[in-house]
Amino acid sequence: MLAAELQAIDAACSRFRPDSELTSVNAGSGRKNGLSPLLAEALAVALRAAAATDGDVDPTCGASLVRLGYDRDFARLAADTSPLAHPPVPAGGWRGVELDQSGLTVRVPPGVQLDLGATAKALAADRAATAIAAATGAGVLVNLGGDIAVAGPPPPSGWRVRIVDGLRHQGLVVAIRDGGLATSGTGDRQWRRGDLQLHHILIPGTGLPASSCWLTATVAAASCTDANTASTAAIIRSATAPAWLTSTGLPARLVASDGRIVTTPGWPDEP
């Protein structure tokens, strides 16, 4: 069931497959495009994430990522370290995307390219965990590269999850019983073009990688999608992230590059 969900999400949402639905939508920018229910749901989730973060997590950053050289599957990026051919461009602007989820159509402004990398994997984790728990009646944890969703009855002491933040050799272990947990950071998805060291978390207004005071941000929420949206926004918001996360009521743990650790209410005390 998990494999089938991942295959379906990839076919609908991948920016790197020439036969994906998203590739077709991007090629048809400027006109109304029909959608499958899955891609319509994924777009709705991405637009909700943009609204919830005041545009910090923006699905219209596809062209921005391409300008920075992220125009192929990440595993292939290291092969090209040549200087960038064109200057960065800001995201197209999520408010310009006209989605009719019930009518299964979307219109993207001309020239705007969508990228669902900030939300689609977390959505896949949520969908898979919910479906597998419903089919089996068992407790389920789905972990997709650190995007974690749980559903069904948890173990008596909760699901034990190790959080790797680059500072602790063994990582920190926490327990969750429901919802989702996600960690975002600038250290994992990096590549070099010319003299520039780049990463995948962009500031939509500039199209440039975020320069954050946080090495990682880990957030617990009612779903993996919500957790990942908030952790990504926390990296972008940098020094203002703790106050914002506190205002949303989301437990979080932020690790600065100098080793300083900041937590928000609801996160367990550090050992």
Domain co-membership, 154 together with 257 = yes
Domain co-membership, 159 together with 72 = no
Answer yes or no: is 113 within a domain: no
CB–CB of 217/235 below 8 Å? yes
Answer yes or no: is 16 within a domain: yes
Residuewise pLDDT in 10s, the chain (271 residues): 999 999 999 999 999 999 999 999 999 999 999 999 999 999 999 999 999 999 999 999 999 998 888 878 777 777 778 888 888 899 999 999 999 999 999 999 999 999 999 999 999 999 999 999 999 999 999 999 989 999 999 999 999 999 987 676 567 899 999 999 999 988 777 777 887 777 788 999 998 998 999 999 999 999 999 999 999 999 999 999 999 999 999 999 999 988 899 999 999 987 7
Detail the DSSP E strand segments found in 104-188.
105-107, 140-144, 147-151, 159-163, 172-176, 179-185
How does DSSP classify residue 268? P
Answer yes or no: is 127 within a domain: no
C-alpha 3: how far from chain center: 20
Domain co-membership, 175 together with 251 = yes
Compute the half-sphere exposure of residue 228: CA atoms within 13 Å on the CB side of its CA.
Answer: 26
Strand order of the β-sheet with 214-221 is 140-144, 147-151, 179-185, 214-221, 252-256, 261-263
Contacts of 256 (CB under 8 A, 6+ apart): 213, 214, 215, 262
Answer yes or no: is 82 within a domain: yes
CB–CB of 158/176 below 8 Å? yes
Q: List the CATH number of the domain containing 52.
A: 1.10.3980
C-alpha 130: how far from chain center: 19
Query: Cβ atoms within 10 A of the Cβ of 167, count?
Result: 16
Answer yes or no: is 22 within a domain: yes
Answer yes or no: is 147 within a domain: yes
Domain co-membership, 149 together with 100 = no
- The last residue of one of the domains, among 90, 107, 124, is 107
Cα dihedral 254, 122, 151, 246 sign:
positive
How many structural domains compose the chain?
Answer: 2
Answer yes or no: is 270 within a domain: no
Domain co-membership, 259 together with 146 = yes
Domain co-membership, 94 together with 152 = no
Query: Residue 182 — φ and ψ, nearest 5°?
Result: -145, 145
Answer yes or no: is 248 within a domain: yes
Query: Domain range for residue 246?
Result: 142-263
- Residue 104 gets the label, from left (phi > 0), alpha (psi -120 to 50) or beta, of left
Q: List the CATH number of the domain containing 195.
A: 3.10.520.10
